[in-house]
């Protein structure tokens, strides 16, 4: 799941390829000894050993050992790998592991492996970030070891921050900001704003959460797109996004807030604070957000937390929706997930966020904040999307979807008319 951000005073912020003849169970069960067809006996164990040496080299900041698992004739890759490890030098790595998930043989001495990198930042991540990579390897007949010949993102994946340049590290009271190519003063300012966002989110969300946030600041929007594995055009007007995994697991991979430095810089201090508070809310609520949670609720709640201090009027928070109401075109229904598409019309996108925010405002004002929290938990805890909102409306708020929509439409007109 990627939660989006947008510019202005608001904050909007299967990946596996199919591999040919694969014995996935072999890779997960140590008791199995038969190799995938076409590979030598113990190939999977030997490839794992190569990956283990690579992981140990990262933890020991040993560039020679890191490069030693790359084939001697892969000179460009050896140079790139040495440079990458140098870029990681200042990052406080708490753990770094590789899990082999798939092998496709190309004869007896060559293979393509699907690998899941898991890394954890010390003091910030309670669970590792998961990164899917695809590695090409070849076996040296002299020593029998497997060596890397290529390393690339899995389909739908992106480059990592340390592959874009030297990672600058700024530690805040409640935040860790990792930047590439940006002035340290800028990164320090982002850390200061994130440090204000974290306690604001703790005040708006009643459940215990990590109480800290990791923020990535790439050099350009093009670099941001590379981190997210998507075209840069999708994020040009987006101030920040939050990456994470839904499903309610407390051991889910760690979240990252990724800032678009160009769009973020266009905001004033208030707008920047709203952006990072919104995105940090996604981090805090992640374990209660699931595939059953509609986007209007997850994004609306994040905006509700960000604007909770009441510094702006409803018309200032929701200008596009206010224009629609004044022109006699109020919304007929709550925003759909499709209304939040990155590439959709920006006015439609703005109205979707604003409508979600007002829906959460309505619940907090009409039923109370505790009911809003309970509603959010109930929707996210449902077994699936179908019926999740309807059941929570009935059980938590004592109303129906039709009644709530009618109340919301009237509320939108009253607040913005």
CA distance 231 to 235: 8
Residue 33 dihedral angles phi and psi, to the nearest 5°:
-120, -15
pLDDT digits (tens, 9 = 90+) for 183-202: 999 999 999 999 999 999 99
The token pair that represents 405 in the structure block: 């929509």
CA angle 232, 290, 199 (to 5 degrees): 75
273/316 Cα distance (integer angstroms): 16
Strand partners for 236: none
What is the fold of 24-154?
Answer: Nuclear Transport Factor 2; Chain: A, (3.10.450)
Beta-bridge mates of residue 136: 112, 150
The reported pTM is: 0.87
Q: What is the DSSP string of 27-57?
A: HH-TT--PPPTTS-TTHHHHHHHHHHHHHHH
Distance, in Å, from the CA atom of 121 to the CA atom of 176, rounded to the nearest integer, reads 9
**pLDDT single digits (tens) 83-115:** 999 999 999 999 999 999 999 999 999 999 999
Going residue by residue through the chain, which has 417 residues, state the pLDDT in tens, using 9 for 90 and above: 445 444 333 333 333 333 333 333 334 433 334 556 667 778 999 999 999 999 999 999 999 999 999 999 999 999 999 999 999 999 999 999 999 999 999 999 999 999 999 999 999 998 899 999 999 999 999 999 999 999 999 998 889 999 999 999 999 999 999 999 999 999 999 999 999 999 999 999 999 999 999 999 999 999 999 999 888 988 888 999 998 765 545 555 678 999 999 999 999 999 999 999 999 999 999 999 999 999 999 999 999 999 998 889 999 999 999 999 999 999 999 999 999 986 657 889 999 999 999 999 999 999 999 999 999 999 999 999 999 999 999 999 999 999 999 999 999 999 998
- The rounded distance, in Å, linking the Cα atoms of 388 and 391 is 5
Q: Where are the domains of the chain?
A: 1-13+156-289, 24-154, 290-417
Q: Dihedral angle at the C-alpha atoms of 290, 296, 299, 305, nearest 10 degrees?
A: -110
Does the domain at residues 1-13+156-289 carry the CATH identifier 3.30.2010.30?
Answer: yes
C-alpha gyration radius of the chain: 24
All residues at 6 or more sequence positions from 74 whose CB lies less than 8 Å from its CB, including other chains: 147, 148, 149, 150
Q: Nearest CA to 354 among 327, 314, 387?
A: 314
Nearest to 404 by CA among 294, 285, 287: 294
> What tokens were used for 96?
């770094």
Dist. CA 146–CA 198, nearest whole Å: 45
């Amino acid at each position: 799941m990627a939660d989006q951000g947008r510019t202005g005073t608001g904050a909007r912020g299967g990946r596996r390829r199919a591999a040919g003849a694969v014995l996935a169970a072999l890779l997960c069960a140590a008791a199995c000894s038969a190799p995938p067809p076409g590979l030598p006996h113990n190939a999977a164990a030997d490839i794992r050993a190569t990956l283990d040496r690579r992981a140990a080299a990262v933890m020991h900041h040993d560039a020679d050992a890191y490069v030693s698992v790359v084939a001697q004739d892969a000179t460009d890759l050896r140079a790139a790998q040495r440079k990458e490890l140098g870029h990681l030098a200042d990052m406080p790595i708490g753990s770094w592991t590789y899990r082999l998930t798939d092998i496709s043989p190309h004869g007896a001495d060559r293979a393509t492996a699907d690998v899941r990198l898991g890394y954890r930042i010390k003091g910030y991540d309670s669970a590792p970030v998961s990164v899917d990579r695809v590695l090409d390897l070849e076996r040296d007949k002299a020593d029998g070891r497997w060596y890397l010949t290529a390393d690339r993102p899995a389909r739908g994946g992106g480059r990592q921050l340390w592959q874009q340049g030297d990672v600058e590290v700024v530690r805040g009271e409640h935040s860790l900001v990792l930047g590439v190519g940006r002035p340290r003063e800028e990164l320090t300012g982002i850390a200061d704003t994130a440090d204000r966002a974290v306690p604001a989110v703790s005040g708006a969300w009643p459940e215990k959460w990590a109480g800290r946030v990791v923020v990535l600041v790439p050099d350009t929007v093009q670099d941001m797109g590379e981190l997210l594995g998507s075209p840069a055009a999708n994020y040009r007007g987006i101030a920040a996004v939050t990456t994470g995994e839904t499903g309610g697991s407390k051991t889910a991979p760690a979240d990252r807030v990724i800032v678009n430095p160009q769009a973020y810089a266009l905001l004033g201090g208030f707008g920047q604070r709203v952006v990072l508070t919104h995105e940090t809310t996604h981090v805090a609520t992640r374990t209660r957000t699931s595939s059953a949670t509609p986007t209007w609720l997850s994004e609306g709640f994040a905006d509700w937390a960000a604007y909770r201090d009441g510094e702006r009027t409803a018309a200032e928070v929701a200008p596009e929706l206010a224009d629609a109401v004044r022109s006699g075109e109020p919304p007929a229904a709550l925003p759909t997930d499709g209304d939040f598409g990155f590439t959709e019309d920006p006015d439609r996108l703005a109205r979707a966020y604003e409508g979600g925010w007002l829906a959460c405002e309505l619940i907090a004002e009409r039923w109370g904040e505790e009911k809003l929290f309970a509603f959010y938990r109930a929707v996210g805890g449902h077994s699936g999307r179908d019926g999740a909102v309807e059941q929570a409306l009935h059980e938590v708020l004592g109303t129906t979807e039709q009644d709530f929509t009618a109340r919301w439409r009237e509320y939108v007109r009253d607040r913005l008319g």
